[in-house]
Amino acid sequence: MLHLRLITPTGQTAEAVRLIEGTVGTTHLVVIPGAARNPAGDVVMCDVAREAADELLSALQELGLESTGSIAVENIDLSLSRRADKAEAEAPGEGADAVLWEHLTEATHEESTLSITYLAFITLATVIAACGVVLDNAILIVGAMAVGPEFGPLAGIGTALVQRAPRLALRSLTALLAGFAVAMAVTVGFSLFMDAVGLFSEEQLEGARPNTGFVYAPDWFSFVVAVLAGAAGTLSLTSAKSGALVGVAISVTTVPAAANAAVALSYGDTGQTWGSTKQLLLNLLGIVVAGTITLLAQKWIWSKQRERSLKARRL
* Rounded Cα–Cα distance for residues 124 and 146 (Å): 11
pLDDT in tens, the chain (315 residues): 899 999 999 999 999 999 999 888 899 999 999 999 999 999 999 999 988 888 899 889 999 998 999 999 998 888 889 999 998 888 876 666 677 777 788 778 778 889 999 999 999 999 999 999 999 999 999 889 888 889 889 989 999 999 888 998 999 999 999 999 999 999 999 999 999 999 999 999 998 889 888 889 888 888 898 898 888 888 887 775 555 555 556 567 799 999 999 999 999 999 999 999 999 999 999 999 999 999 998 888 877 776 666 666 555
Residue 24 has a pLDDT of 87
Helices (H) and strands (E) in the chain, counts: 14, 4
Tell me the β-bridge partners of 44: 6, 31
CA torsion 226→227→232→233, rounded to 10°? 60
Are 122 and 149 contacting, i.e. CB atoms less than 8 angstroms apart? Answer: yes
CA distances from residue 256 to 133, 211, 248, 265 in whole angstroms, order as listed: 7, 12, 14, 14
* Rounded Cα–Cα distance for residues 48 and 57 (Å): 10
Residue 245 has a pLDDT of 56
Chain centroid to Cα 281, Å, comes to 19
Angle (CA) 252 255 258, round 5°: 120
- Could you tell me how many residues make up the chain? 315
Kindly provide the b/e burial profile for residues 167-198, where b requires at least 16 CB atoms within 10 angstroms of the residue's own CB: ebbebbbebbeebbebbbebbbebbeebbeee
* Rounded Cα–Cα distance for residues 193 and 183 (Å): 15
Are 154 and 176 contacting, i.e. CB atoms less than 8 angstroms apart? Answer: yes
Considering the entire predicted model, what is its pTM?
Answer: 0.79
CA torsion 100→105→111→113, rounded to 10°? -170
